[in-house]
Amino acid sequence: MNYFTTNISPYRLKNLNVIECDNGWGSVCIGGIACVNKSDFRTYIMFHEITHAWIGGQVKIKDNSKGEFLLKESLNEYLMTQFLRYEEGDSLYQVQIKNYTDNYDKYLSKNEDKSIWNITKYAASTHPIIMYKQVILLDELAQKVGYDELNSVIFDFLRKTMGQKIEATQFLNVLKDNFGQPAIDYCEKI
């Protein structure tokens, strides 16, 4: 929580309660409660839910907007990996990125690739695009422009737009304005 408090904003509620639950359908973060499925507890999915206390919690994303999952889930997952990188160091982070790449490659061998713009509903079949593909692409961009540089532009954007309902196109424009060609290349791949 300190990582996101420092980089985005202090947590607005008094407490964030992380609860282990057994609801049979997954994990979720609503209000001051991150309800984490038994099987996800103490895994990176728990950190994904805590990150949602900011992304989707304090930073609002416009429902049904074009590419909404790029912000709602992909950016959330990317920022969670940046927390891991900050907290656990680069080698664990690289293991995590390899995990995304392996999972995405497995998906690619069975299915056709999709653009995040065409995803209007979160479903199991869209998960590899939303989570794995987008995190890999954002990581690629970070390798080109610098992790600290990319993260600082992202955090700055989130701080400045707090209180608004943001859309993916705004996010991409900020990346293009700050990083030029590498960001244009990223936008073409998503």
Smallest separation, CB 165 to Zn ion (Å): 18
Report the residue number, 40 or 73, with the smaller CB distance to Zn ion.
73
Tell me the torsion sign for CA atoms 47, 144, 60, 168: negative
Within residues 52-91, the interface with Zn ion by CB under 5 A covers 73
Distance CA 23, CA 31 (A): 18
Gap between the Cα atoms of 138 and 71, Å rounded = 12
The count of chain residues that interact with Zn ion, using the rule CB under 5 A, is 1
Burial 54-81 (b: 16+ CB within 10 A, else e): bbbbbbebeeebebbbbbbbbbbbbbbb
Q: Both tokens of residue 32?
A: 């001051």
Site string for Zn ion, 137-176 (x = CB under 5 A): ----------------------------------------
- At closest approach, how far in Å is the CB of 44 from Zn ion? 12
SS3 179: helix
The residue at minimum Cβ distance from Zn ion is: 73
* Closer CB to Zn ion, 73 or 139, in the complex: 73
Q: How far is the CB of 73 from Zn ion (least distance, A)?
A: 5
Where do the H-state alpha helices sit in the chain?
Answer: 2-7, 44-51, 68-69, 76-88, 90-110, 127, 134-145, 147-160, 168-179, 181-189
Report the residue number, 73 or 167, with the smaller CB distance to Zn ion.
Answer: 73
- For the CB of residue 126, give the shortest distance to Zn ion in the complex, in Å: 12
What is the Cβ-side half-sphere exposure of residue 85, based on CA atoms within 13 angstroms? Answer: 16
Shortest distance (Å) from residue 68 CB to Zn ion: 12
* Closer residue to Zn ion, CB minimum distance, 80 or 136: 80
Whichever of 68 and 73 has its CB closer to Zn ion, that residue is: 73
Residues at the interface with Zn ion (CB under 5 A) = 73
